[in-house]
Structure 1
Amino acid sequence: MPWRQAVAFIFLVIPAVSAAEKMYTWIDDQGVAHFTDIKPSEREHKRVELRNPSLIPMRENITRGKRVSKINQQVSRSLEGSNAGQRTMSDQQEARERERKDARCEDYREKLERIQKQLRAGYSNDQGNRLRRQRREVSQKLSRKCILG
């Protein structure tokens, strides 16, 4: 079976390589570049020199990739083990920060509700302008710090 594959490879690849050794290029009247393996007889043309394809040993690349992945996993595991105490500390800090943020957001909501009640209760012109400005400022802080951020 392997010898059949070798024969098929020889019959398919060698003619293609030998035919591809001679390439020509020429530009037509509209400025379009053409490439062919047949020498154009009536047109001005240039012969294109083809370089041999570079071969990369894939087995070596795959082996190195696996080795690098294994090293990355080992480093990650060792970092997880050494940072376990620090991670719980940062989890606690994150929880405290979350509580502070929630309290601040609840504060903004309460202030906004108080301002809304005052606006509904009635007001003078100057007092209404001040309340609307306060509502706008508190509403922006609530949006920026609690809803968007």
Structure 2
Amino acid sequence: MPWRQVAVFVSVFIPAVSVAEVYRWVDDQGVAHFSDRKPSEGEHDQVELKRPSLIPMRENITRGKRVSAINEQVNRSLEAGSSDQRRPSDRQEARERNNARCQGYRKKLARIHQQLRAGYSNDQGNRLRRQRRELSQKLSRECLLG
């Protein structure tokens, strides 16, 4: 029986709220007020309420699941990389090769920056910026993130 009373109350109350009017007025001290009742004195404006926009969440949920799956995949590959079964000397050699490659990227980037500062034609500038972008991506993927 109480559920029926709640249902009746909600069905009567919800439509009343959706058609409620909102009034706005500014008092003599310059403070703006909003209310669902008309002020007893002074000028007031009726506020036009727009319907709320509804945004479907399905796409956000799908993207969130996709991002979570990628994060799990990255974490698994990082865990697999941390349990490296190579000999210490092999790991040291690989680290040295990686450092040399990263140093080469940094030198090339410095040379490109120098050329860009020195001046260039339009075509040459576009080529240098493209090379800088590619080298920066390699540097961050292989040296900073890896």
Bin of the TM-score, shorter chain as denominator length: 0.3 to 0.5
Question: TM (normalized to structure 1)?
Answer: 0.43
TM-score by length of structure 2 reads 0.43
Rg (Cα) greater in structure: 1
Structure with more helix by fraction: 1
